[in-house]
């Protein structure tokens, strides 16, 4: 499909809240350039359904376990020996899996009498240290009795990971978090989500996966339509201030001087390699490439319509595609400068 590996599973992103239509595309590009092990492939497309034009969408690989996607073994129910039971597992850490979220939710299809029906069908491990629940996407059968061994294994691994991360020896490479978490993936994940100040990052939700005989890897990244100053809550529209770093796991990681040093080194290496400046070249180039298509798109859809719960960013909507792109680039330059100063203190 459009040069991407074959699959039956795809996502059509409307990017309705992102009037530039390119925020997710830019984030995916930067993720690949920064060296995340897997980043979804994507292409912009125009959609016509039953002869009716539907606008510009983004055709994106669905995040799932597969050879050309999250490339980890697919566990079988009989995989209970000491080696096979260690992987692979794909999970989401997601605030929506809390029962309290459903009590006030308007998405009735997700909730019945205040109980999250997704959570009833998904095995989740609750955090002891303030993170959102760790919910297993794959295997999706862990709640079945026959999968109890795998369920117990991943529950213990996550519990042991938190114990190591928040324990007294958390900086020890053999006893601390580095024995359970792939540090490079955590650093890349942090930089991507903090640079773009993604409200749907580690604070709200993110993906993790565990390889066979391997550690927990952060990623793949997902959901950046409200990033780049596009939302107006939790101060994510401000170019200054931390957003991902205060999340419980990252807050603890940054208490390790070695981790802070590695983050700084990774950032400055990316800067020296031109990967940060390329963000702005890419953003303007992609917007220019979409110029004719966006005109047609916004004859059908409104460029000033924002859902009230988004509480749009401080600029409040510019009213034109060119101005939306210009504002996004301006915001991101300021954010880049702030983060560069903070990381190099």
Between 234 and 38, the more confident residue is 38
| Same-domain pairing of 54 and 115 | no
Kindly report which listed range (82-96, 160-174, 184-198, 320-334) carries the lowest average pLDDT score: 82-96
Q: Name the more confident of 97 and 288.
A: 288
Res 108: pLDDT: 38
Last residue of a domain, which of 227, 255, 283? Answer: 255
Q: Return the pLDDT at 119.
A: 43
Q: Which of 237-246, 288-297, 313-322 is predicted least confidently?
A: 313-322
Task: Judge if 117 and 190 occupy the same domain.
Answer: yes
* Cα 96–chain centre separation: 14
Q: Clarify whether residues 177 and 310 are in a common domain.
A: no
pLDDT for residue 308 = 64
Look up the domain containing 161 and give its range: 84-255
Q: Which residues have C-beta within 8 Å of that of residue 305, sequence separation ≥ 6?
A: none
Q: Which residues of 219-239 are buried (b: 16+ CB within 10 A; e: fewer)?
A: bbbbbbbbbbbbbbeeebbbb
The answer to whether residue 213 scores a pLDDT higher than 60 is yes
Q: Is 342 exposed, middle or buried (0-12, 13-18, 19+ CB in 10 A)?
A: middle
- Per-residue pLDDT averaged across 145-172, rounded? 97
- pLDDT at position 162 is 98
Query: Of 192, 223, 255, which residue is a domain's last?
Result: 255
Does residue 269 lie within any of the structural domains?
Answer: no
Q: Looking at residue 152, what is its pLDDT?
A: 96
Residue that finishes a domain, picked among 255, 290, 307: 255
How many domains, in total, are found in the chain? 2
**Are 176 and 212 in a shared domain?**
yes
Of residues 118 and 251, more confidently modeled = 251
Same domain flag for 221 and 89: yes
Lowest mean pLDDT, pick from 102-106, 125-129, 149-153: 102-106
Decide if pLDDT at 285 tops 90: yes
Domain assignment of residue 245, yes or no:
yes
Q: What pLDDT is stored for residue 232 in this prediction?
A: 85
Query: Does 238 lie in the same domain as 155?
Result: yes
Residue 268: inside a domain: no
Let me know whether 60 and 89 are in one domain.
no
Confidence grade of residue 327 (pLDDT, cut at 50, 70, 90): very high
Reply yes or no on whether the pLDDT at 102 is more than 60.
no
> Is residue 179 domain-shared with residue 105, that is, in the same domain?
yes
Based on the domain organization, do 221 and 313 belong to the same domain? no
Based on the domain organization, do 224 and 280 belong to the same domain?
A: no
DSSP 32-51: HHHT-S----EEEEEEEETT
37 and 150 both lie in a single domain: no
3 domain residue, yes or no: no
Instruction: Give pLDDT, residue 233.
Output: 85
Please give the pLDDT value at position 99.
Answer: 47
How much of the chain, in percent, has pLDDT values that exceed 90? 81
Which strands, in side-by-side order, build the sheet including 52-61?
10-13, 52-61, 42-49
Query: Does the residue 44 lie in any domain?
Result: yes
Q: What is the pLDDT of residue 121?
A: 63
Q: 114's torsion region: left (phi>0), alpha (psi -120 to 50) or beta?
A: left
What pTM was computed for the model?
Answer: 0.92
Residue 318: predicted pLDDT = 75
Residue 76 has pLDDT above 90, yes or no: yes
Judged by DSSP in three states, 325 sits in helix
Say if residue 106's pLDDT is above 50. no
Is there a domain that residue 215 lies in? yes
Specify if 178 maps to a domain: yes
In a domain, 220, yes or no: yes
Number of helices and strands in the chain (H, E)? 10, 10
Q: What is the mean pLDDT of residues 202-206?
A: 83
Say yes or no: 195 and 153 in one domain. yes
Mean pLDDT, the chain, whole residue set: 91
> What is the Cα 149 distance to its own chain's centre?
29
């Amino acid at each position: 499909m459009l040069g991407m590996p074959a699959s039956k599973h795809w996502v059509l992103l409307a990017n309705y809240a992102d009037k530039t239509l390119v925020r997710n595309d830019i984030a995916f590009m930067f993720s690949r350039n920064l060296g995340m092990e897997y980043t979804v492939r994507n292409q912009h497309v125009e959609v016509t359904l039953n002869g009716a034009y539907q606008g510009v969408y983004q055709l994106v690989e669905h995040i799932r376990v597969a050879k050309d996607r999250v490339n980890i073994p697919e566990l079988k129910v009989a995989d209970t020996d000491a080696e096979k039971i260690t992987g692979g597992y794909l999970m989401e850490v997601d605030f929506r899996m809390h029962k309290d979220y459903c009590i006030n939710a308007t998405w009735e299809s997700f909730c019945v009498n205040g109980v999250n029906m997704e959570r009833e069908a998904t095995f989740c491990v609750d955090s002891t240290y303030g993170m959102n629940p760790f919910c297993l996407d794959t295997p999706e059968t862990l709640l079945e009795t026959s999968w109890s061994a795998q369920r117990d294994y991943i529950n213990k691994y996550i519990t042991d990971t938190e114990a190591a991360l928040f324990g007294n020896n958390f900086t020890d490479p053999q006893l601390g978090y580095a024995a359970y978490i792939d540090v490079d993936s955590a650093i890349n994940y942090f930089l991507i989500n903090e640079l773009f100040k993604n409200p749907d990052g580690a604070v709200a939700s993110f993906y993790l996966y565990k390889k066979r005989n391997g550690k927990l890897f952060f990623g793949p990244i997902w959901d950046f339509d409200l990033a780049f100053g596009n939302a107006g809550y939790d101060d994510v529209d401000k170019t200054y201030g931390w957003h991902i770093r205060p999340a419980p796991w990252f807050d603890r990681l940054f208490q390790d001087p070695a981790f802070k040093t590695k983050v700084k080194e990774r950032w400055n290496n990316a800067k020296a390699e031109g990967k940060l400046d390329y963000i702005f070249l890419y953003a303007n180039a992609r917007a220019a490439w979409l110029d004719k298509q966006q005109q047609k798109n916004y004859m059908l859809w409104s460029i000033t319509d924002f859902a009230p719960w988004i509480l749009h960013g401080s600029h409040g909507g510019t009213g034109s595609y060119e101005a939306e792109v210009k504002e996004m680039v301006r915001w991101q330059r300021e954010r880049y400068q702030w983060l560069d100063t903070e990381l190099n203190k």
